[in-house]
Structure 1
Amino acid sequence: MTASPCTGACLLDPRTGWCRGCGRSGDEIAAWPYLSEAARRALLAELPARMTSRPPFKPVRQP
């Protein structure tokens, strides 16, 4: 069974909709337990490009 790419740093980026830790969308995270092995491998293959193409994270400063 293909392991989850979760890094434990879960935070969905509002600009991309992808998790800042693993690169998956909320829907992909929720669907992970139900995906076939082929679907998991296909999704894993997309993640490196997502992680390198995302805009830099800029935290919002609180007053």
Structure 2
Amino acid sequence: MPEAVASPCVNICRMEDGLCAGCLRTIDEIARWASSGDEDKRLILAAVAQRRIRRDPDADPACNCSD
């Protein structure tokens, strides 16, 4: 059985310009995370990776670290 998709939360929970300052998820993505299936969670993580790249083109899109 595949491992569950881990939350990108880094416990810096503060909304700035519509995104969490810590994990770069929208409030909608955060709210639906617990009830989402793995496929939806992977889509959310892909969106987060794209936001991370737009914010810092040199960032590692797979990094789940805070600034």
Following superposition, which runs of at least 4 residues in structure 1 exceed 2 angstroms of deviation?
51-54
- Aligned residue for 1:35, secondary structure, equals coil
Provide the C-alpha distance between the structure 2 equivalents of 1:30 and 1:36, rounded to a whole number of angstroms: 13
Are residues 1:50 and 2:30 paired?
Answer: no
Provide the C-alpha distance between the structure 2 equivalents of 1:43 and 1:32, rounded to a whole number of angstroms: 9
Report the identity percentage: 38
Provide the C-alpha distance between the structure 2 equivalents of 1:7 and 1:51, rounded to a whole number of angstroms: 14
Structure 2 counterpart of 1:12, which letter? Answer: M
Question: Alpha carbon RMSD of aligned pairs, Å?
Answer: 1.6
Structure number with greater CO (CA < 8 Å, separation at least 6) is 2
Q: TM-score, normalised by structure 1?
A: 0.73
- Aligned residue for 1:34, secondary structure, equals coil
Q: Which residue does 1:12 correspond to in 2?
A: 15
Q: TM-score, normalised by structure 2?
A: 0.70
Partner deviation per Cα, 1:31-54 (whole Å, 9 max, x = no partner): 100001100011101112212434
